[in-house]
Structure 1
Amino acid sequence: MSHKRIPKRKAAIAVGGVAALGAAALLLPNANASQSNGDDATPRTFKSTDVSDVASMLASQLGDAFAGSYYDASNKQLVINIVGNNSNVVNQIEKAGAVAHQVQNSTSELQAAAKTLKADATVPGTAWSVDPKTNEIRVTADSTVTGTKWDTVESTVKGLGSGVATLKKSAGTFKTFVDGGDAIFGGGARCSLGFNVTAGDGSPAFLTAGHCGVAAAKWSDAQDGAPIATVDQATFPGNGDFALVKYDDPNTQANSVVNVGNGQTVQINQAADAAVGQQVFRMGSTTGLNDGNVTGLDATVNYPEGTVTGLIQTDVCAEPGDSGGSLFTQDGSAIGLTSGGSGDCTVGGETFFQPVTTALQAVGATLGAGDAGAGDAGAGDAGAGDAGAGGAVDPSASASDAAGGAGDQAGAGADDQAGAGAADQNGAAGDQNGAVHDQSGAGMDDGSGVVTTP
């Protein structure tokens, strides 16, 4: 397969086949807007992408009384945790249209507990994040944490005191994998393009996982193909898992869409912070489109390669080959880049994502194409393979149609490099269901990378 880099070329985010019809049916346009009945004492209904701003405002106003927040998706309400029983605090929360919920642990107490975990229980295969729904720290240990390692983690959690943290065992393992279907290739590794962006110098670029950025400096959109992009910045491990990769052709049009298969796209209109309880969609070439909820923020994950902090934790299933795929919302907000996880789409598991907002700020980039403005790129010039700006998944699509997905639109097969990770790129070639494809000039393909095997 050859690709000509010409001025009108589009570099759309092309992700793999839609394998989850249930998730596809949920991804409809025109999500409900925030509403208020005008009664300050009655909770407002919010869009999930609006709650972060309100929660941040209340956090600054309430000070030490603020103990976290989450989105009640069933009622479309923002819940604010508070310590103490100050009526003025409750009034401020209700005036903002949110719901006040009294809890035991303050933010400072939970932060102190997290510091203790970092100091005493930083064991590879563990992860933790604050769960505002339970007002506790949720600690997870994967299948590699056994014997004295398990004893260390368990005793540390118990030492935090009653009602501060919970510990559970995960069936999988927390690892980073560079593996899978509709991919970008570099140095024997394979990863996924996350979201197209404009770099600080105005050049077209994309975001991907940081462990991909440290695995190889040059990336191609075809196995053994000529490089088309070069890593500019990469962070992994440490304070995040993200990389900025610049297209070598300055005329590349890095449109801001996610291709969810069958010629359907979702336009990405903005980058937004995640909120616990928020519904999110993840696209990847192995399992296609899947949805779930955000379960934790500011998560710490102790991978074999090192500790990564500041991640989003979710219950969205994923499997090897899905990593690097986009995490986004129904209304077209970019939320995260797949970092890693455990389990699969049969038994479930935990997945972790790099927040897009943090990555953009760190690398000095803006979402989408520079000539269209941040958050509004790709509104025009919808080429073949795109459903046009703002296209939505057709809920009437059959399961067999959904299973075909974007990978079947070109038919150019690719071999799977199972287990070709950032630290170990010697994966064996094998068969894979996804296909590297060029959707009539859509350009970059997406969908591989970072989740673990059970």
Structure 2
Amino acid sequence: MLEQQKGQTLRRSTLTRTALSAFLVLGTWATAGLVPASAADSPSPSSESSARAAQPASDGLLSAMRKDLGLTASQARARLASERTATALQGTARRAAGSSFGGDWYDAKSGKLTVALTGSAKSGAVRATGAAVTLVKHSARELDAAKKRLDKGGAPAGVSSWHVDPKANRVVVDVVASAKDDNDVQAFVARAGQTGAVTVNQVPAAARTLSAGTVGGDPYYTGNVRCSIGFSVNGGFVTAGHCGQPGAAVSGWDGSAVGTFQGSSFPGNDYAWVSVGNGWWTVPVVLGWGTVSDQLVRGSAAAPVGASICRSGSTSHWHCGNVLATNETVNYSEGAVNELTKTNVCAEPGDSGGSFISGDQAQGVTSGGWGDCTGGGETWFQPINEILNQYGLTLTTA
């Protein structure tokens, strides 16, 4: 459990907070006439691409991508543009693939969305969408069914997680290296291997949760536990479920009352939403913590595997990386959590619930991980659209 006790947090200075508050008030006035987009309301790819293309990447975001992804400024701009195109293509390409769909991912080398197919009959239709095509043995439906069988059986502590890897066309099971010879781990691996499409990897440590104005990445407190705000929604904000139970009181960075947990689910899921009042308001902003400019949120289009992604949290602040897998089941000590997205973005205690964002599109709230931001590691998030749909919430957007 990556919780953070209240006394251990590093708060921003009064000057910084005052400046941010002034910025947020101005942002609220500027966007008062805008209507937020709900999870169910998706703009057309063409209109969304045009609107987002008009917004250049900030110097801070490009700097973070240079630092964390090893890109030049021009490479970062080109990657963001190609990722926007790939994200917009996903739905059309999947429909073109039909029942032969074997998964898809963003290929950073080619800058294109790649779609896996179990046969060549649909390859022309998929290529016509602008996506690349590769042939595989197993359909996405087959692999998803194999993963769901593992979800139902339970797993020992030495099994960290499992997910479908579309690029490898396999179900990947991650086991903790020190527990690889444990009898229960071996039994789980043997059961997984019965599907005939499983690869076993070793990881250095088990997954753990990351708990420790409603602005993404800002700290909040439930008792003595510090977590991070994910994204503003109508009437409050979303965050990680392991940070609090329904009815739990929440205080803000300054100790003042914010609101209460209205809904929470953990384990099984790891999401929650908190209603706000007491003079607090919601804004479509994710904190850059001085590393990058504070980021505006304009929607929630899900980035594909392989896309770049960044995270904001109240402990380790702003870091970037790539999407490694989707729909992964993570085996925390408190119980398994399903349908998480894995990244190689680092995180630390207190970052739980914080914002994952790709460009200006909200992706999800930080759940847990292993490692830290000194030695590196992996982190999972609960996808934002699932949370919005579960509670009937509307994302606050610019």
1:277 deviates by 0.6
**Structure 1 residues 22 and 294, CA gap change in structure 2 (3 angstroms):** same
**SS at structure 2 position matched to 1:261:** coil
**SS at structure 2 position matched to 1:271:** coil
Q: Which of 101, 119, 123 is equivalent to 2:156?
A: 123
1:327 deviates by 0.8
CA distance in 1, matches of 2:338, 2:246: 19
Amino acid paired to 1:160? T
Q: Would you tell me which structure has more strand in proportion to its own residues?
A: 2
Aligned to 2:222: 186
Aligned to 1:348: 376
1:145 deviates by 4.2
Deviations 1:235-275 (A, max 9, x none): 2222x3111111123x5331111121238311111112131
Equivalent positions of 1:133-144 (< 5 A) are 133-142=167-176
Q: Which of 132, 135, 139 is equivalent to 1:99?
A: 132
Q: Would you tell me which structure has more helix in proportion to its own residues?
A: 2
Aligned to 2:365: 337
State which drifts further: 138-147 or 277-286. Answer: 138-147
1:67 deviates by 0.6
Aligned to 1:221: 252
Please tell me whether residue 318 in structure 1 is matched to residue 347 in structure 2: yes
Q: Which of 302, 305, 315 is equivalent to 1:273?
A: 302
**Structure 1 residues 24 and 137, CA gap change in structure 2 (3 angstroms):** closer
Aligned to 1:302: 331
Equivalent positions of 1:388-427 (< 5 A) are none
CA distance in 1, matches of 2:83, 2:378: 21
CA distance in 2, matches of 1:300, 1:351: 13
Deviations 1:336-391 (A, max 9, x none): 110011122344322110111111121212222xxxxxx22xxxxxxxxxxxxxxx
CA distance in 2, matches of 1:248, 1:9: 20
CA distance in 1, matches of 2:364, 2:145: 26
Equivalent positions of 1:356-367 (< 5 A) are 356-367=384-395
Aligned to 1:230: 260
Amino acid paired to 2:265? T
Please tell me whether residue 247 in structure 1 is matched to residue 282 in structure 2: no
CA distance in 1, matches of 2:367, 2:178: 19
**Structure 1 residues 245 and 52, CA gap change in structure 2 (3 angstroms):** same
**SS at structure 2 position matched to 1:128:** strand
**SS at structure 1 position matched to 2:148:** helix
CA distance in 1, matches of 2:123, 2:144: 23
Aligned to 2:357: 328
1:149 deviates by 2.1
CA distance in 1, matches of 2:229, 2:322: 22
Please tell me whether residue 260 in structure 1 is matched to residue 288 in structure 2: yes
CA distance in 2, matches of 1:344, 1:290: 11
**SS at structure 2 position matched to 1:79:** strand
Aligned to 2:54: none
**Structure 1 residues 26 and 32, CA gap change in structure 2 (3 angstroms):** closer
Aligned to 1:70: 105
CA distance in 1, matches of 2:243, 2:365: 12
TM-score by length of 1: 0.67
For the 8 Å contact 1:71–1:278, the answer to whether it is kept is: yes
Deviations 1:86-122 (A, max 9, x none): 2xx1110111011111011112321232133224453
1:208 deviates by 0.7
Aligned to 1:160: 195
Amino acid paired to 1:259? L
Structure 1 residue runs of 4 or more that deviate by more than 6 Å after TM superposition? 1-4, 18-21, 24-29
CA distance in 1, matches of 2:69, 2:287: 12
CA distance in 1, matches of 2:138, 2:327: 17
TM-score by length of 2: 0.75
Q: Which of structures 1 and 2 has the bigger CA Rg?
A: 1
Equivalent positions of 1:277-292 (< 5 A) are 277-292=306-321
Root-mean-square deviation (CA), in Å? 3.4
For the 8 Å contact 2:140–2:166, the answer to whether it is kept is: no
Deviations 1:20-41 (A, max 9, x none): 6714997989x8689xxxxxxx
1:50 deviates by 4.3
1:12 deviates by 11
Amino acid paired to 2:238? L
Amino acid paired to 1:218? A
For the 8 Å contact 1:229–1:247, the answer to whether it is kept is: yes
**Structure 1 residues 226 and 359, CA gap change in structure 2 (3 angstroms):** same
CA distance in 2, matches of 1:27, 1:53: 24
**SS at structure 2 position matched to 1:178:** coil
**Structure 1 residues 302 and 12, CA gap change in structure 2 (3 angstroms):** farther
CA distance in 2, matches of 1:284, 1:226: 20
1:133 deviates by 1.4
CA distance in 2, matches of 1:27, 1:242: 36
CA distance in 2, matches of 1:288, 1:188: 20
**SS at structure 2 position matched to 1:313:** strand
1:279 deviates by 0.4
Deviations 1:374-411 (A, max 9, x none): x22xxxxxxxxxxxxxxxxxxxxxxxxxxxxxxxxxxx
**SS at structure 1 position matched to 2:161:** strand
**SS at structure 2 position matched to 1:138:** strand
Count residues in correspondence. Answer: 340
Amino acid paired to 2:346? C
Q: Which runs of 5+ in 1 are unaligned?
A: 35-44, 369-374, 377-454
**Structure 1 residues 106 and 145, CA gap change in structure 2 (3 angstroms):** same
For the 8 Å contact 1:193–1:324, the answer to whether it is kept is: yes
Amino acid paired to 2:167? K
CA distance in 2, matches of 1:294, 1:9: 31
Q: Which of 240, 243, 248 is equivalent to 1:209?
A: 240
CA distance in 1, matches of 2:387, 2:289: 26
CA distance in 1, matches of 2:262, 2:348: 28
1:282 deviates by 1.3
